[in-house]
Amino acid sequence: NNLDQLYRSVIMDHYKNPRNKGSIENDAVTIDMNNPTCGDRIHLTLKVTDGIVEDAKFDGEGCSISMSSASMMTQLIKGKKIDEALELADIFSKMMMGEDYSDKYDLEDVEALQGVSQFPARIKCATLAWKAMEKGVKE
Ligand code: FES
Ligand code: FES
Protein backbone atom coordinates (compact mmCIF):
# COMPACT_ATOMS: atom_id res chain seq x y z
CA ASN A 1 0.00 0.00 0.00
CA ASN A 2 0.97 3.67 -0.07
CA LEU A 3 2.34 3.79 3.45
CA ASP A 4 4.62 0.82 2.74
CA GLN A 5 5.80 2.56 -0.38
CA LEU A 6 6.47 5.78 1.50
CA TYR A 7 8.38 3.88 4.18
CA ARG A 8 10.39 2.01 1.58
CA SER A 9 11.39 5.24 -0.14
CA VAL A 10 12.41 6.80 3.21
CA ILE A 11 14.60 3.76 3.91
CA MET A 12 16.20 3.86 0.47
CA ASP A 13 16.82 7.60 0.75
CA HIS A 14 18.76 7.10 3.99
CA TYR A 15 20.64 4.19 2.47
CA LYS A 16 21.68 6.11 -0.63
CA ASN A 17 22.18 9.50 1.05
CA PRO A 18 23.25 8.59 4.57
CA ARG A 19 23.06 11.34 7.17
CA ASN A 20 25.99 11.74 9.54
CA LYS A 21 28.28 9.36 7.66
CA GLY A 22 31.89 9.44 8.76
CA SER A 23 33.79 9.54 11.99
CA ILE A 24 34.27 12.17 14.70
CA GLU A 25 37.97 12.65 15.20
CA ASN A 26 38.61 14.18 18.62
CA ASP A 27 37.47 13.04 22.04
CA ALA A 28 34.75 10.84 20.66
CA VAL A 29 33.28 7.74 22.22
CA THR A 30 33.96 4.99 19.69
CA ILE A 31 31.94 1.81 19.34
CA ASP A 32 32.52 -0.98 16.86
CA MET A 33 29.87 -3.64 16.68
CA ASN A 34 28.90 -6.33 14.26
CA ASN A 35 25.84 -8.34 13.49
CA PRO A 36 26.95 -11.90 14.22
CA THR A 37 24.39 -13.39 11.88
CA CYS A 38 25.89 -11.78 8.75
CA GLY A 39 29.16 -10.12 9.77
CA ASP A 40 28.03 -6.64 8.77
CA ARG A 41 29.55 -3.99 10.98
CA ILE A 42 29.08 -0.48 12.26
CA HIS A 43 31.61 2.02 13.49
CA LEU A 44 29.87 4.66 15.58
CA THR A 45 31.44 7.75 17.11
CA LEU A 46 29.62 9.97 19.59
CA LYS A 47 30.52 13.32 21.05
CA VAL A 48 28.88 13.66 24.44
CA THR A 49 29.18 16.93 26.36
CA ASP A 50 27.46 17.63 29.69
CA GLY A 51 25.15 14.68 29.24
CA ILE A 52 24.06 15.69 25.75
CA VAL A 53 24.80 13.87 22.52
CA GLU A 54 26.28 16.78 20.60
CA ASP A 55 27.29 14.83 17.56
CA ALA A 56 26.99 11.31 16.17
CA LYS A 57 28.53 9.80 13.07
CA PHE A 58 28.61 6.30 11.69
CA ASP A 59 30.49 4.28 9.16
CA GLY A 60 30.42 0.65 8.22
CA GLU A 61 29.17 -1.94 5.83
CA GLY A 62 25.80 -3.51 5.85
CA CYS A 63 22.48 -4.02 4.21
CA SER A 64 20.03 -1.26 3.46
CA ILE A 65 18.12 -1.83 6.69
CA SER A 66 21.17 -1.63 8.95
CA MET A 67 22.71 1.38 7.24
CA SER A 68 19.49 3.34 6.91
CA SER A 69 18.68 2.60 10.54
CA ALA A 70 22.09 3.96 11.55
CA SER A 71 21.48 7.10 9.52
CA MET A 72 18.05 7.65 11.07
CA MET A 73 19.28 6.89 14.57
CA THR A 74 22.12 9.45 14.41
CA GLN A 75 19.71 12.04 13.06
CA LEU A 76 17.23 11.40 15.86
CA ILE A 77 19.61 11.36 18.84
CA LYS A 78 21.73 14.39 17.95
CA GLY A 79 21.05 17.12 20.50
CA LYS A 80 19.25 14.75 22.87
CA LYS A 81 20.14 14.11 26.49
CA ILE A 82 21.67 10.71 27.20
CA ASP A 83 18.58 9.50 29.06
CA GLU A 84 16.38 10.62 26.18
CA ALA A 85 18.60 8.76 23.73
CA LEU A 86 18.36 5.63 25.88
CA GLU A 87 14.60 6.00 26.12
CA LEU A 88 14.41 6.20 22.33
CA ALA A 89 16.55 3.04 22.10
CA ASP A 90 14.10 1.33 24.42
CA ILE A 91 11.15 2.50 22.32
CA PHE A 92 12.88 1.30 19.17
CA SER A 93 13.44 -2.17 20.60
CA LYS A 94 9.77 -2.36 21.60
CA MET A 95 8.85 -1.19 18.11
CA MET A 96 10.87 -4.13 16.81
CA MET A 97 8.65 -6.37 18.94
CA GLY A 98 5.66 -5.01 17.06
CA GLU A 99 4.46 -2.20 19.34
CA ASP A 100 3.18 0.95 17.69
CA TYR A 101 4.56 4.18 19.09
CA SER A 102 3.80 6.51 16.24
CA ASP A 103 1.02 8.32 18.13
CA LYS A 104 2.99 8.83 21.32
CA TYR A 105 6.40 9.93 20.10
CA ASP A 106 7.76 11.77 17.13
CA LEU A 107 10.25 9.24 15.87
CA GLU A 108 10.77 11.09 12.60
CA ASP A 109 12.09 8.85 9.81
CA VAL A 110 12.63 5.96 12.23
CA GLU A 111 8.93 5.17 11.87
CA ALA A 112 9.68 3.87 8.39
CA LEU A 113 11.35 0.86 10.01
CA GLN A 114 8.33 -0.36 11.95
CA GLY A 115 7.49 -2.94 9.28
CA VAL A 116 10.80 -4.67 10.00
CA SER A 117 9.21 -6.20 13.11
CA GLN A 118 7.41 -8.61 10.78
CA PHE A 119 10.71 -10.03 9.55
CA PRO A 120 12.58 -11.60 12.48
CA ALA A 121 15.75 -12.12 10.44
CA ARG A 122 15.90 -8.38 9.73
CA ILE A 123 15.38 -7.14 13.29
CA LYS A 124 19.07 -7.56 14.13
CA CYS A 125 19.90 -5.42 11.09
CA ALA A 126 17.66 -2.61 12.31
CA THR A 127 18.80 -2.71 15.94
CA LEU A 128 22.57 -2.87 15.28
CA ALA A 129 23.13 0.91 15.32
CA TRP A 130 20.86 1.37 18.33
CA LYS A 131 22.71 -1.30 20.31
CA ALA A 132 26.00 0.41 19.46
CA MET A 133 24.61 3.76 20.61
CA GLU A 134 23.32 2.31 23.89
CA LYS A 135 26.72 0.80 24.58
CA GLY A 136 28.45 4.08 23.72
CA VAL A 137 26.43 6.41 25.91
CA LYS A 138 26.71 4.06 28.88
CA GLU A 139 30.52 4.33 28.78
FE1 FES B 1 19.22 -6.23 2.95
FE2 FES B 1 16.59 -6.04 2.29
S3 FES B 1 18.12 -7.31 1.49
S4 FES B 1 17.70 -5.11 3.78
FE1 FES C 1 23.81 -7.76 7.81
FE2 FES C 1 21.47 -6.67 7.68
S3 FES C 1 22.16 -8.38 6.59
S4 FES C 1 23.10 -6.12 8.99
Q: What pLDDT was estimated at residue 100? A: 84
- Measured CA to CA, the distance from residue 45 to residue 100 in angstroms comes to 29
Ligand 1 pocket test, pick from 7, 37, 63, 128 with the greatest ligand atom count within 8 Å of Cβ, gives 63
The ligand placed nearest to the CA atom of residue 60 is 2
Ligand 1 pocket test, pick from 7, 71, 122 with the greatest ligand atom count within 8 Å of Cβ, gives 122
Q: What pLDDT was estimated at residue 82? A: 97
CA–centroid distance, residue 62 to ligand 2 (Å): 5
Report the number of distinct structural domains present in the chain: 1
CATH number at residue 10: 3.90.1010.10
25-59 tens-digit pLDDT:
988 999 999 999 999 999 999 999 999 999 999 99
Domain that holds residue 8: 2-138
Using DSSP's 3-state secondary structure scheme, residue 65 falls into: helix
